[in-house]
Amino acid sequence: MTNRILAYVLYGALFIGGAASTTQASDARETPLVRAVKRAMSSVVNIHSEKTTRDHDNLFGAGRGRKVNGMGTGIVVDERGYISTNHHVVDGVDSLRVTLKNGGTYSAKVISTDRTHDLALIKIDSQNPLPVMSMGTSSDLMLGESVFAVGNAFGYEHSITFGIVSALSRDVEVNEKQAYENLIQTDASINPGNSGGPLVNLDGEVVGINVAIRAGAQRIGFAIPIDDARRVIAQLLSVEELNHHYHGTLLKDVKAGVSRKLIVEAAQPNSPAAHAGLRPGDVIVKAGVVDVVDAADFERALLGRQSGESIEVIVKRDDKTESLELTLAELPANMIATRSRRDGGHAQETAEQSPLQQKAWELLGFKLAKVGADSQIFNRSQYDGGMRVVDIRRGSPADVEGIRKGDVLVGLHIWATVSAENVSYVIEREDFPAFGSNRSLKFYILRGRETLYGFMRNTIQVGR
C-alpha cells in the first residue's frame, strides 16, 4: 500500500511539474514577433471588390460586361471606419466589401484617392469604434531590420509573412502609367491581395504600406514608406476636400526616429487658424480628443465637424503648453473654384449651363465639365485633358452604352475632346447627323487607368 501511495504522489508531482514547464514554454514562445502581430492584427482589414470588364469589340454593348472579383488589404486609420489602401485596389470597382479580423463584414465606399501615389481612403459604417493601427515611422528604418506583412494573400485572409528590410529608397516602374519613388524593399513575401496592407516592425507599428512585387522573382516586394504615405493620407482626409471646411493652417510633419511632431509653418491671414492664435513654430500635440503626431491626425480630429464648431487645440510654444480654440469656417468660394481648377475634384465640378450642354444632353444624354490637363487623372497618360461626365440621362444613348458619371470623355469620332469647344465642334458639324447611323458615333472615355471606347446611336436625325 505504501509503495502504491508513493507512486501516486510521484505521478502527481510529475504532472504538476509538467504544467509549470508548459507555462514556461508558452511564455518563451510568445516572442516579440508574436506580440507585435497581436498588437497589429485587429487593425488590418481584408478587401474584396467586384468590377465590370468589357469585351474589346464593343466595350459598352448590352450584355457584354463580365464581372471580375478582386482583393486587397486595408489599414484602419480612424475609429469611425476610415481605412487606407492602394488606389489600384479600388480603381474602377463597382462594389467593395470589407471583412474585419472579428469576422464582421461591411459594404465600403471610396472617399478619396490619389493615383500618383497609389493611395486611397475608403469608409465603412460600423456601430462600434474600430481599433486604429499604431503608426510608426520610416525615418529610422535599418537594413536587415525585422518586419512582417499582413494581408489578404491570394484570398487567405489575415496572412502573416516575415522578413527583413532588404533595401531603402528604391525607385520602381511598374508600367508606362505607374511608377513609384523611395520605396522600401523587403523579403517578407508580398502576394496578390497584400496590396494596401501594412509592413510592420517588431513594436507592432506600421512602417510601410505594401504596394508591389517584382514579377518572376522570389521574396522581392515593395512598400510605400509610412512617413510618405501619411502626408498623402492627410490630404485624403482633408476637411477642405471632404467637408468644404476651412482651418487655414499650413503644417509640416517632422519625423526623425522617436522624435515625431507636427509643426505650424504658417496661419493664413484672416483664417480660423489666425483667429485662434496659432503661430509659426507651434507644435500641435492634441486636437479635441485626438493625440496629434502628424497632419493626418490633425485632419481626422477636424473631420465631420460642422462649420462654426470649435475644437480645443493644445500646442507647445516656447517650452510652454497653450490651449487654443479653433473654430472651423466654410471654405471660401474662391478657394473651391481654385481647388477645382487645380485638381479636377469630383465634388467641385459642375456642368456649364450653355446651349452646347443642352444639345449634348438632348442628343447624347450627358452633361460635361472641364477637367484640366494638370489633374492627377491624366498623370502618366497620353491625354492632355478631357471633359468629365457629371450627369447621365436615363435611357439616353450614353446611358444605354454604359457611360457613367465620373468617366472622362477624351474623344468623339476622330477628334479629342479636351474642352467644351472641341465637343461643340463635333456636334455642330454639318455632317454630324451621319455619325449617328449604324452606331458609328465612336467615343473614348478614361475610366480609372483604362481607356474604353464604344459606339453611340444618337437622335440628331430628329431634333437637330
CA–CA separation, 357 and 341 (whole Å):
19
- N-terminal to C-terminal alpha carbon distance within the chain: 114
- Taking the C-alpha atoms of residue 1 and residue 17, their distance in angstroms, rounded to an integer, is 24
Q: How many H-runs (helices) and E-runs (strands) does the chain carry?
A: 12, 26
Is 195 one of the catalytic residues?
yes
How many whole angstroms separate alpha carbon 367 and alpha carbon 361? 6
Yes or no: say if 230 and 294 are a contact pair by the CB < 8 Å rule: yes
Residue of 185, 189, 234 whose CA lies nearest to 84: 234
Supply φ then ψ for residue 200, to 5 degrees. -125, 145
Identified catalytic residue from 43, 112, 189, 195: 195
Which position has the grid cell 529610422?
140
**Bridge partners, 325 (sequence order):** 312
Per the structure block, which three cell numbers stand in for 270? 484672416
What's the gap between Cα 185 and its chain centre? 21
Judging by beta carbons within 10 Å of its beta carbon (0-12, 13-18, 19+), is residue 419 exposed, middle or buried?
A: middle
Catalytic residue, chosen from 88, 117, 158, 247, is: 88
Distances (CA, A) of 267 to 25, 141, 234, 272, 287: 57, 33, 17, 8, 16
381 is catalytic: no
Catalytic residue, from 78, 91, 114, 118: name it. 118
Is residue 118 annotated as a catalytic residue, yes or no?
yes
Active site residues: 88, 118, 195
